[in-house]
Amino acid sequence: MSGITYLKGDATSPQAKGNKVIAHICNDIGGWGKGFVLAISRRWEEPEAEYRSWHAAGKKDGFGLGAVQFVPVEPYVWVANMVAQRGMKTGSSGPPIRYEAVAACLEKVVAKALELGASVHMPRIGCGLAGGEWSRIEPLIEEYLCGRGVPVLVYDFA
């Protein structure tokens, strides 16, 4: 039995009361311009601006695989920029998704969600441009978030 609630809709319009964290995956090379990030940027400018300055600052600001940046975008809503994608193209080492980085990011997201008493909202992270498989991502979400009592809502765009 999954602890994840699946909804049709837009993850940038979270369907819940109280504090909400919108989680999504970013790459480690500073690229922001395809996929779910476009929906985020249509709604708020801060996540992209913060991600770009974080990438520019680099490792001294903690940027890298497994890192998460929490950007407040409106009262009770934060966007979690999770760095869990190496580059942007499938190459000799497989698709850009890095499952161990997804796990490291989710550890940081659960800590923030518990601190805020927040629910977590997301598309099927890592399964678009990052080339990941939901059959490998879903168990990570269930272990790291649902397993700690954090409500998770996954949105499939209608």
Q: Give the CATH number, domain containing residue 23.
A: 3.40.220.10
Structural domain containing residue 106: 4-156
Express the helix, strand and coil content of the chain in percent, nearest 5 each.
Answer: 35, 25, 40
Question: Phi first, then psi: what are they for 146, rounded to 5°?
Answer: -60, -40
pLDDT of amino acid 2:
60
Name the pLDDT band for 1 (thresholds 50, 70, 90).
Answer: very low
pLDDT, averaged across the chain: 95
0.85 cut: is pTM over it?
Answer: yes
Total domains in the chain come to 1
Q: What angle do CA 57, 53, 140 make, to 5 degrees?
A: 90
Q: Summarize pLDDT for 53-107 with one digit per residue, the tens.
A: 999 998 888 999 999 999 999 999 999 999 999 998 888 888 999 999 999 999 9
Please check the confidence at residue 28 and state whether its pLDDT lies above 60. yes
Q: Which residues contact 119 (CB under 8 A, 6 or more apart)?
A: 14, 16, 18, 19, 20, 21, 113, 150, 151, 152, 153
The mean pLDDT of 38-58, rounded to a whole number, is 97
